[in-house]
Amino acid sequence: MVKIEEKKIGDGIKMFTVSNEKMCFSVMNYGCTLTEINFPDRNGKMTDVLLGYDDLEGFKNCTDSRGAIVGRVANRISGARFSIFGREYHLDVNDGKNTLHGGNNRFEKMVWDAEKFTSEDGRGGVRFTRRSESMEQGFPGNVDITVEYSLGDDDGIRCEYTAVSDEATPINLTNHAYFNLNGARGKIESILNHVLELESDKILEVDGELIPTGKIIDVRDRKEFDFRSPKKIGRDISMCDERIGHGYDNCFVTSAYECGSNAKDGKDLCRFGSVTSPLTGIKMEIFTNQIGVQVYSGNFLKGTGKEGLENKKYDGVCFETQRFNDAVNRKEFPSMIQERGEEYRSITVYKFSN
C-alpha cells in the first residue's frame, strides 16, 4: 500500500513523501525536485541514494539542477538559436556559445501547482502542473505541462512528463537527479566504484563543446563508452575528454531508437541498463521510452550538500532520459518539434533492488 504525506516548507512550497512498505521518495513543488530516495541496503539499513541539500535554501541556491526537472529543452542547443518554419528564435547563451537546460530562467526555479493522486493500478504519487507561456526562455507556444512522480509495489519510481502546445515548439523534458547508491553515512564515496551495465552500443559523437556532430558512433570503437558488459564507472574514465573533466557527459542511444526512423520517442518502455553499488548492494535499473540517455558523471560537482558534506567531482551520476540533444538543429536526428495540439509523452522508471 502506498502512502502520501504532505507538509508546507515555504511560501507556497510543499514537500511530499511517497512510501510503500519497503522504500520512499520525497519531492517538492519547487522545480518538481526529487530531494530524497530511501531504499534499504543489503543489511536492511535505509539509505538515501540522492545528492541534494538539507533545506530549501540549498536547492534555491543550487546551480547544477540537483533532482529537478529540466526543460523546456534539456541539454544543449547549438548557437543558442533554432528555426521553425523559417522564423529564427534566439535563446539565452549560458554554456559557451550555446544554451543549456533552457537557459537562465529555468523550470527548476519555478513553483509548480501540485496535487496527490492514486491511480487505478494502486500507484500513488504527486502530479505537478504549470503553463509555460509563449516566449518563456525564448521558445514559442503556450505549453501546458504535467509532471508525475509515482511509486507502486514494484519499487520503481515512475517519472512521466506530458505536454501540449498551441504552437509548434521544441520540447525535451527530463529529471536531473544525481545518484550515489553508496549513500552518505557520514562521508561520501565517489560513484567510480559503481558497476554500470548499459544495453547501448552507440553514442552521439560530439565536438569539443559537447554539441553533436550528427554522427552516431559504435561504442566498440571507443572503449571508454563500452558498458555492454558490466564494468566500474571509473575503469576507463581517464580516457574521456579532459575538456569535460575526464568524465562522462554523453548521450547514449537506447533500443527505443530505430535507425532511419523519424519517431521522436519509442512506442514502449525499453530497458536502458543498471547501476550497482558494491558497497551497499543497492541496484537501480533504468527503463524509458526515450531514444537517448545523457550519462553524466558529475565532473564539475562542488559545494556543500546533505549532512554538511562537501560534494566533489564524481560524487554523483545522472541518467537524463531524453530526445537527442540539439535535434532542433540536426536534420540527421528525429525531430524534437511538437506540432500544435500534439501530445508529448516521456516516461522513465528507476527500479530499485538489493
Active site residues per annotation: 176, 320
Helix, strand, or coil here: 310?
A: strand
The pair phi, psi for residue 193, each rounded to 5°, is -85, -5
Whole-number Å distance between alpha carbons of 14 and 140: 30
**Cβ atoms of residues 68 and 32 within 8 Å:** yes
Spatial strand order of the sheet with 270-276 comes to: 113-118, 124-132, 143-151, 156-165, 344-353, 283-288, 270-276, 195-198, 231-232
Give the number of other Cβ atoms within 10 Å of residue 222's Cβ.
Answer: 15
Question: Residue 245 burial by CB count (10 A; 0-12/13-18/19+): exposed, middle or buried?
Answer: middle
Take residue 85 and report the three cell numbers written for it.
Answer: 518554419
Paired sense of beta strands 337-338 and 169-170, if any: antiparallel
Distance CA 234, CA 85 (A): 45
| Rounded to 5°, angle at Cα 74 from 93 and 103 | 25
- Bond into 72 cis (ω within 30): yes
Q: Which residue has the cell 552521439?
A: 204
